[in-house]
Amino acid sequence: MTDTLPATGQIVRLRSRTWLVGPVVEDPGHGSTVSLACLDDDNQGEELNVVWDLELDRRILSEEAWKDIGKKGFDPPRQFAAFLNTLRWNCVTATNPLLFQSPFRAGIRIDPYQLEPLRKALLLPRVNLFIADDVGLGKTIEAGLIASELLLRRRVRDIVVTCPPSMLLQWKDELENRFGLVFEIFDRAYMERIRRERGHSVNAWETFPRFLISHKLLIDETYAAPLRNWLDNLRPGSLLICDEAHHAAPASSSKYAIDSQITKAVRNLAFRFEHRLFLSATPHNGHSNSFSALLEILDRERFIRGVKVVKKNREDVMIRRLKDDLRAIGVPGFPERVVEQINLPEVLGFDRLPDDTPELALAAMLAAYRNQRLESMAAATKRQRTHFELLTTQLQQRLLSSVEAFARSLRVHKKTMERLWAKETALPADNAKVHPGLFQAVDAEDDRANLSVQDLDQLFDLETERATLASATDSAPSAVERKMLDDMSAIAERARLLPDAKVVTITQIADAQIKINRMMSNLSLMFLVIIIFVGGASIANYMYANVYERRREIGTLMALGASSGLVLRIFMLKALILGVAGGVGGYAIGTVLAVILGPKLAGVIVLPMPMLALLAVGVSVVLALAASYFPARRAARLDPCATFQEV
Amino acid sequence: MLRMENVSKSYTHRGRMVKALDSATLHIPAGDFVSLVGPSGSGKSTLLLMLGGMLSPSEGRVLLESSSVYDLSPSDRAKMRREKVGFVFQTFNLVPYLSALENVQVPLFLAKMEEKAQKDRATALLERVGLADRLDHKPGELSVGQQQRVALARMLANEPAIILADEPTGNLDPETSQQIISFLEEFHAEGKTIVMVTHDPHAAKRAKRTLRLQSGTITCQQADQGRQKLL
C-alpha cells in the first residue's frame, strides 16, 4: 500500500480487479478522484471513479512491461507486416452479416441447417429471435453460435441465460466446452460469495458479464429486482436467452391467457435487454392469445397481446424446423418414427380377458365396496366421505400398479377396519392430519423419487392407515362390508402369488403337438416320394449307360450260348446287389448322421431304429429292381450286330 | 448241314429300307470250309449272324441239320448255339477282367458243366492252342495272336460242329494270321464245318471254296481249285 497517487497510464489493483488509471483529479484536502477502466477479461472497459484515499487494499502495479518492450526497438517491416496481417485476418467484421465467425471458433461439428438461425439473427437489427426447432436438432448449439457471434462482433457484452433448474449445469457445460464462454450460475451461493468478497452494496449482476439463472429464481424478487436495476430501462449490448420459452407463455387454462408468475417475471425483464433469444420445441400451446402474448414478450414492436399473429411478422422472428423437414431435404441422422398399432386380440389370441381375471374381478369388487360404504356413510361428515373417496382412489391406483401393491394396501386397510370394528382403536380426532399429496403418483420431480422402495411402501401403508381412520364412522360393523373385504383379500392374496401365466389343458397341447407331428410326417413322406423318384431315375439312367457300355460283352455272351433270360437275370442280380448295398449303406450313414446332427441342429436326441433298416433295404431293393428292369430287358434283346463291329 | 433258303434281311435306317441280304440261297454240307468275301457292307456279317442263330431273317429260312433255326424258341436257339456253333471274332471279344482260363470256362459254365471239369477242359483246350503257360494271364497281358488263340480255345470248348469266324485274322500280322488259319485248317481236318468271313485273299484261298457277296447277293460260288495247286 502506498500513499502516492497513481499517474495516468499506470495499472492499479483495486477491489480485487485490475484497472488502468485514467484522468486523475488531485484534491489533497478532500481526497483525489481517480478514473479507472477495468482490464480484467470478464469485464473489460468498465469504468469506475474512486476516491483513491478511501479505498482499501489499493495497490499500484509497478512491474509493468512497457519499458522492456520499448527497449527492444522496432520490428523489421516484414515481420511487422506479418503481424499486422495476422491481426487483420483474425478480426471479425461487424459490417457483413453473412461472414460468420463463430462456427470456426466453436469446438463442435456443425450441421449446415444449424447455421440458419445465425444467418437470420445477423440480418436482424436487434436479435429478437424465436428458435422453435424440433427436439434434438441442437437449439442449444444454435443459441450458442448466435451468442458467440454477437460477442465476437461486439454487439453484445452481457448475456443472461434463463432455463429450467435441471438444465443449468448442462447449459454451463455446453457453453463452456463448445464455445469457450464461461458462465456463472446465478444463485444464492453466488450472491453470498459476492457479498463476502465485495460487500453488501455491490449488485451481484454487475460482477460478471455472463450469467445462468433458473426460471424458478427469476420469479423471486431477491434475484429479479437487482437484475432490473442493473439492466435499467434498456441495457445496450445485453442478450437474454430464454430456454423452454413456452414456460413464459401465459397459462391457457381458460379463454383468457392468464399470466403466470414466470410470465410476469420474464415480461418485466425481457424488454430491458437489447437482444432476446427464445428457445422452445413447443412454441404454441394451442391458444392464440397465449401465443401472441409470448411473442409480444419477445418483440413488442411486431406483436401485441390478443391480436392475431400475422404470418409475415412471425416468419421474421421465428425459426421452426421439424425433423420431418430435415429428413425431406436429406439431412441424415433423423430416422422416421413409425407408429404401429398392436391389436391385443391378435397378440394374445383372445378378444377380451375373461371376467374372472384377478385384476378385473378386483376392480369390480372395489367399485362395489366403494358404493356400499358410501351408502352406509350417508350420515358421515363431508370430511370423512372425502377421506374415504381418497382412500378408494388410492386403492384403485394401487390396483392399476399391480395386484401385489393392491394386496399390500388392502391388507393395511382391512387390518385397520378390523381394529376399528373390534373397538381396539379409538376414532381419531377430527383434525387428524392426512397428506393427500402423498397419495399422488411419484414422478421425477418429487422428493419421494429418492426414497427406497421399502420406505415408499411404508409411507403408502401409513397413509392408507391414516385415511382409513379418518374416514371411519362409529357405525356398527357391517357384515356385508366385512365379507366384501374378505373376498377381495382372498382374491388379491391368491393372485399376487400366481405367476402371470396362461393355463392350457394338456389335451390342447397334445392336440397341437399331434397336428404338428402329422404335418411333419406328411412333409417327410413327400420328401421320401421325391427322393424315390429321383433315386429311381438315376438308377435307371445308370443301368442304361451300363448296358450300352457292355453291349459287346453281352453280345459275346449270347454268341457263346447265353439265353436272353440269363442276360436279364445277370442285370437284375446286379440291381439287387446295388439295392441291398444302397439300403444298408443309406441306413447306416443316415442313422449316424441323425444321431450326431440331430441334437446339434434340431435339438432332438435321435436313437437308432433297427426297424428302419428293414424298411430302407426293402425300399431300395424294390426301387433298384424296378428301375433296372427296363434297362435289363433292353440288354437281353440287344442286337448282337454290335458285337461284331469295331467300336 | 447248313442251308439258307431265299433268305432276305432288311433294316430300316433313318426311315429308309436298306437290304442287307437279298434272297440268298446257300447250302453248306458238313465238313465244308467256306470263305466269305466281299466289300464292306455287302452283308457278310449279317449272313454269318443268321447262320449262327443270332439274327432272324426278314424272309426265308435258315436250316441247321434240317431244323429251322428261327422257328425254335429263344432258349432252344441259345441251347443250339451253345452246343453246335462256335464263334470267332475279329476283335476276339475276350472278357478283359477274366484270366485266359476263365474266359475259356465261360461257355462251359453256360453249358452248366461242373467247375472242376470246366477247369480241366479249359486247361486242355489252352494247351492245345499252345498257351499252357498263360492260363492265369489277363487278355491285356497277352499279345493279339495269343488273345485270338484264347478265343479259339473258348470257341472249341463245347465241341461245336460248326465254326463261324468273322474276320479272325483282320487284326493280326501276317505271321500270326498264318498261325490262326493253320489252326482252322486243323479243326477242319478234324471234321468241323467252317464258315469264315475275310478280307484277306490269302486266307480266303485256304478255304475249300469261296463265296462272294456283292450288295447282299451271292454273286459267285467257286470251288477253289488253286488251293490244291498251292499245296
Residue-wise pLDDT for A146-155, tens only, equals 999 999 888 8
| Contact list, B198 vs chain A (CB under 8 Å) | none
Could you give the angle at the alpha carbon of A435 between the alpha carbons of A431 and A439, nearest 5°?
Answer: 140
A189 interfacial to chain B (CB closer than 8 Å): no
Residue from the list A552, A566, A640 with its beta carbon closest to the beta carbon of B54: A640
For A360-401, the pLDDT digits (tens) are 888 999 999 999 888 888 877 888 888 888 888 888 888 888
Residue B40 near residue A644 (C-beta atoms within 8 A): no
Q: State the maximum Cα–Cα separation within chain A, in Å, rounded to a whole number.
A: 159
Mean pLDDT (whole number) for A426-434: 59
- Please count the other Cβ atoms lying within 10 Å of the Cβ belonging to residue A168: 22
Closest to A198 in 3D by CA, of A59, A60, A61, A55: A55
pLDDT score of A183 more than 80: yes
A636 interfacial to chain B (CB closer than 8 Å): no
pLDDT score of A51 more than 70: yes
For cell 488259319, the residue is B181
Q: What is the reported pLDDT for A1?
A: 41
Residue to mutate among B10, B77, B87, B92, with most A CBs inside 10 A, is B87
d(Cα A50, Cα A19) in Å, to the nearest integer? 11
Residue of A nearest to B87 (CA): A559
Q: What is the reported pLDDT for A2?
A: 46
For A343, the grid coordinates are 391389436
Is the whole-model pTM more than 0.80?
Answer: no
Lowest-confidence segment of A43-47, A188-192, A612-616 by average pLDDT: A43-47
d(Cα A112, Cα A152) in Å, to the nearest integer? 20
Phi, psi for residue A25 in degrees, rounded to 5: -105, 110
Nearest-neighbour CA in chain A from B225: distance (Å): 31
From the number of C-beta atoms within 10 Å of its C-beta (0-12, 13-18, 19+), residue A398 rates as buried
Residue A127 near residue A121 (C-beta atoms within 8 A): yes
pLDDT score of A439 more than 70: no
What contacts A641, CB < 8 A, 6 or more positions away?
A555, B45, B46, B49, B55
CB-based contact A562 B78, cutoff 8 Å: yes
Burial code (b: 16+ CB inside 10 Å, e: under 16) for B73-111 equals: eeeebbbbbbebbbbbbbbbbbbeeebbbbbbbbbbbbb
For A498-552, the pLDDT digits (tens) are 766 666 677 778 888 899 999 999 999 999 899 999 999 999 999 999 988 888 8
Closest to A298 in 3D by CA, of A311, A282, A283: A283
Residue from the list A552, A562, A564 with its beta carbon closest to the beta carbon of B110: A562
What contacts B187, CB < 8 A, 6 or more positions away?
B156, B163, B194
Strand partners, B67: B64
B91 interfacial to chain A (CB closer than 8 Å): yes
Ramachandran bin of B21, using left for φ above 0, alpha for ψ from -120 to 50, beta for the remaining angles: beta
Residue of B nearest to A551 (CA): B93
Amino acid letter for position A81: A
Mean pLDDT (whole number) for A578-600: 90
B87 interfacial to chain A (CB closer than 8 Å): yes
The residue ranges of every structural domain in chain A are 11-67, 102-328, 358-497, 518-644
CB-based contact A644 B110, cutoff 8 Å: no
Q: Return the C-alpha torsion angle A208, A211, A214, A219, nearest 10.
A: 60
CB-based contact B45 A561, cutoff 8 Å: no
Helix (H, G, I), strand (E, B) or coil at A234: coil
Handedness of CA A46, A52, A55, A61 (dihedral sign): positive
pLDDT score of A227 more than 90: yes
Mean pLDDT (whole number) for B141-166: 90
| Contact list, A555 vs chain B (CB under 8 Å) | 93
Residue of A nearest to B52 (CA): A559
Instruction: Tally the residues of chain B.
Output: 231
ipTM of the complex: 0.84
Nearest-neighbour CA in chain B from A630: distance (Å): 19
Helix (H, G, I), strand (E, B) or coil at A284: coil
Q: What is the reported pLDDT for A8?
A: 85
CB-based contact A558 B45, cutoff 8 Å: no
A&B contacts, CB < 8 Å: 68
Mean pLDDT (whole number) for B170-177: 85
CB-based contact B107 A560, cutoff 8 Å: yes
Give the side-chain half-sphere CA count within 13 A for A440: 11
Does an H or E element contain A164, and which? none
CB-based contact A563 B48, cutoff 8 Å: no
Mean pLDDT (whole number) for B188-195: 91
Helices A288-298, A261-270: crossing angle, 10 deg rounding = 30
Residue from the list B75, B91, B111 with its beta carbon closest to the beta carbon of A565: B75
Residue from the list B55, B95, B110 with its beta carbon closest to the beta carbon of A640: B55
| Contact list, B49 vs chain A (CB under 8 Å) | 640-641, 644
d(Cα A170, Cα B177) in Å, to the nearest integer? 114
Nearest-neighbour CA in chain A from B229: distance (Å): 33
Closest to A212 in 3D by CA, of A259, A147, A271, A264: A147
CATH code matching the domain that covers B2-98+138-230, chosen among 3.30.420.40, 3.40.50.300, 1.10.3720.10, 1.10.15.40: 3.40.50.300
A561 interfacial to chain B (CB closer than 8 Å): yes
CB-based contact A560 B154, cutoff 8 Å: yes
CB-based contact B45 A565, cutoff 8 Å: no
Instruction: Tally the residues of chain A.
Output: 647
Q: What is the reported pLDDT for B230?
A: 40
| Contact list, A644 vs chain B (CB under 8 Å) | 45, 48-49, 89-90, 166
CB-based contact A560 B82, cutoff 8 Å: yes
pLDDT score of A554 more than 80: yes
pLDDT score of A428 more than 80: no
Q: What is the reported pLDDT for A389?
A: 86
For A345, the grid coordinates are 386380440
Q: What distances in angstroms separate CA A76 from CA A72, A394, A474, one per listed residue?
A: 12, 86, 105
- Please count the other Cβ atoms lying within 10 Å of the Cβ belonging to residue B121: 19
CATH 2.60.40.420 fits A102-328, yes or no: no
What contacts A27, CB < 8 A, 6 or more positions away?
A33
